[in-house]
A and B are shown apart, each in its own frame.
Chain A
Amino acid sequence: MLRKIALWIDERLYVSKLYASTAGHSVPANAESWFYVFGSGTLLCFIIQVVTGTCLAFVYTPSATEAYTSLEYLNYQQSLGWLLRAIHYWGSNFMVGIMILHLTQVFLFGAFKYPREMTWISGVVLLLCTLGMAFTGQVLRFDQDAYWGLGIGAAMMGRVPVVGPNLVHLMLAGPIIAGETLSRFFTLHVFIIPGTIIALVSLHLRLVLTKGINEYPVPGKRVEKETYAEEYERLIKKEGVPFFPKAISKDLVFSGLVTLGILGCALYFGPEGPHGVPDPTQINTVPKPDFFFLWLYAVLALLPDYLETILILTVPVIAIGFLFALPFISGTGEKSARRRPVAVLSVIVIFLALGTFNYLGTYAPWSPKMSAWSGEATPFKYVKGRSPLELRGALVFQSKQCRNCHSLDGSGGLRGPALDGVATRLTSDQLVRQVIQGGGNMPAYGKNLSPAEVDAIVAFMQTLHEPNDSPARDTTAPENSGDKGKETATVRR
């Protein structure tokens, strides 16, 4: 009887035929590898994002007046709202992370080569969509970071020649960040981009079915357009295994770990933000992007200014263009990473660069430390036993906010050099010049310091060296500057 019912259902719904053509399709046995789990992992994250995102949309209000309040409501009033927000946040982090692993694996395994060009290209678009989701999602967490993040986006758009203002208006839905901007990003985050992702994932998976999953590359086995399809078919016939229930096992283990990882992080770290009401008049804020864009934040601080606009406008186009062009540049030949040194080297360089920039982004050494002058005292060892003039200099040094950029004994800003041993590097004349005229990325303080203050500050800085280090000497007039240095050193002893 049960069998009859099952057969009836199968006949009406074509379950077994569907199975044979989708989950049951044959994959090369060697593709049953731990390296092949990242695609399904990314898809799993996307599903988690759709489910939790839908839940959040039950409560979230995409209005500039109410968005912040509704996020606070989700955090503190709505039952389990904090956990759903946390899962959604950590789900996005995992999704970006696993997607990058997937991209790297596919690149290193040569899976973009013939005949899977379109699989790769649809994947690149999915990568862009996912980064788009990450940025728009950060905006929906409508707080100070979101507000100023939009400002940064607009400032970058504003650098485009000719249509810059139009693009800014298009992005912000008006001449300025306001209520309609949030509505626009809500539409992108909830309708346009996810819809595109669903369509593209369908295409991506369909291509995986029709073109087959990439076999585990063997060094020395080259892809040739004439023979590849035949060889792949032979491989499948000889040692093909059905994806479900055989090859899926490692994906299943990984998916379980990912889900537990997201849940664990969400429970342990909790939801992200919102940080501060999106009120632009609250200007004492240090806007920072989420980790996916920290590297960009760092790059924008470190680029030489004359290159900045050119690089902002061209590098994304070139980088994305290169990703699209890759299967056409290198569509055949070796697949194995063991025979592709340039590919391996590029991956290492890109990862090191992004990792370094992201790390720098976490503590932003290029930004002045806004409260150092009022919050971090002059170290005791630099005021002990100093002359009145030097003490006055220490006071000026502190009150003129030099500490915001210069550190003493490890505390203070990192924008400018640490001044602990400055007396060994600059003579008094050089110090005077540097303070008055600035230069080397330091503002000139000439208009803002009286001659007496300059004297005091320079006297203070000349005491900044280790007891036994000799002070800097002027090579053109060694005696003068040497004398002055000795004098200070004597006074101190």
Chain B
Amino acid sequence: MVVKEPDVVVKEPESKSIGVTEGELVQLVRNRPSRRAFLFKLGAALNVVAASLMGIPVIGFVFSSFRSKGPSESWIGLGALDSFPVGQTRLATYRNPYTRPWDGPTADIPCWVRRIEGEKFQVFAINCTHLGCPVRWFQESHLFMCPCHGGAFYEDGSHASGPPPRGLYEYQYKVERGQLLVRGGILPTLSEPL
């Protein structure tokens, strides 16, 4: 093994001029910083730096949800107070406050509005607190029922039966100039209710 390598090395003029025996020569050449070794290290280091610099924006782009978010919620009008009769629960829809032009029908979000009396409301998210399916209101039995796993809620949104771990998500609301407004824009989940 060792016998073969010196053949190549000895051809280099510098090595010859030093004039050492074969065994030592191999040692010597190996330990000396060659241009090739330097370039290898330089190239590797350069690539690590370049790849990191390019990787930062890529990773930042993909995982942007872990960085500070811009505003996603805002106040949105649901309609005039008159459109919600006292003592009743009605379906209302609003348009997402922050939409892209290609959102299509997904930009419209439904919610249940219960007018208790006067300006006292409860506005529930459509999503069941179990796994997010759309709950339906049944006026006759005064229950919200979920079609997915059988969750049911009373008219005030509290849990009635089935697997949901809590009552319906409730939007913050306010009444301004005869209009009902809610604060919407996110899909409510257990860890991020409205």
Contacts and interface: CB of A to CB of B under 8 A. Distances in A.
Given A160-B191, A279-B105, A367 B100 contact: no
Given A148-B132, A159-B191, A175-B187, A170 B102 contact: no
A152 B69 CA distance: 23
Contact of A442 (B104, B135, B148, B161): B161
Contacts of B65: 166-167, 169-170, 173
Interface string A268-287: 00000000011111011111
Chain A CB count within 10 A is highest, among B63, B73, B138, B191, for B191
Contacts of B66: 163, 166, 170
Contact of B108 (A151, A159, A281, A368): A281
B168 to A, nearest CB: 13
Given A305-B163, A400-B141, A283 B185 contact: no
A167 B187 CA distance: 13
Contact of A301 (B136, B143, B149): B149
B130 interface: yes
Interface string A125-164: 0000000000000000000000110011011111111011
Interface in A438-472: 438, 441-445, 447-448
A184 B163 CA distance: 30
A247 B73 CA distance: 63
A68 B130 CA distance: 27
A179 B148 contact: no
A63 B105 CA distance: 11
A168 B161 contact: no
Contacts of A285: 134, 147
Interface size bracket, A side: 35 or more
B147 A286 contact: yes
A151 B132 contact: yes
Interface residues of B, number: 56
B189 A280 contact: no
A407 interface: no
A309 interface: yes
Contact of B150 (A173, A174, A366): A366
Nearest to A157: B189
A165 interface: yes
Given A170-B65, A179-B103, A280 B141 contact: no
Contact of B140 (A166, A181, A300, A399): A399
A441 B164 CA distance: 11
Interface in A94-123: none
Contacts of A303: 163
Chain B CB count within 10 A is highest, among A300, A305, A445, for A305
A45 to B, nearest CB: 29
Contact of B132 (A64, A152, A175, A308): A152
A158 B125 CA distance: 15
Interface string B115-133: 0000000000011001111
A258 B143 CA distance: 49
22 contacts: A65-B105, A148-B134, A151-B133, A155-B189, A158-B189, A159-B191, A169-B69, A178-B106, A179-B103, A280-B108, A280-B109, A280-B110, A281-B109, A283-B110, A287-B133, A297-B149, A300-B149, A309-B190, A366-B149, A367-B147, A367-B149, A415-B150
Closest 8 pairs (CB-CB, A-B): A158-B189, A164-B191, A65-B104, A169-B65, A151-B132, A443-B160, A301-B149, A279-B105
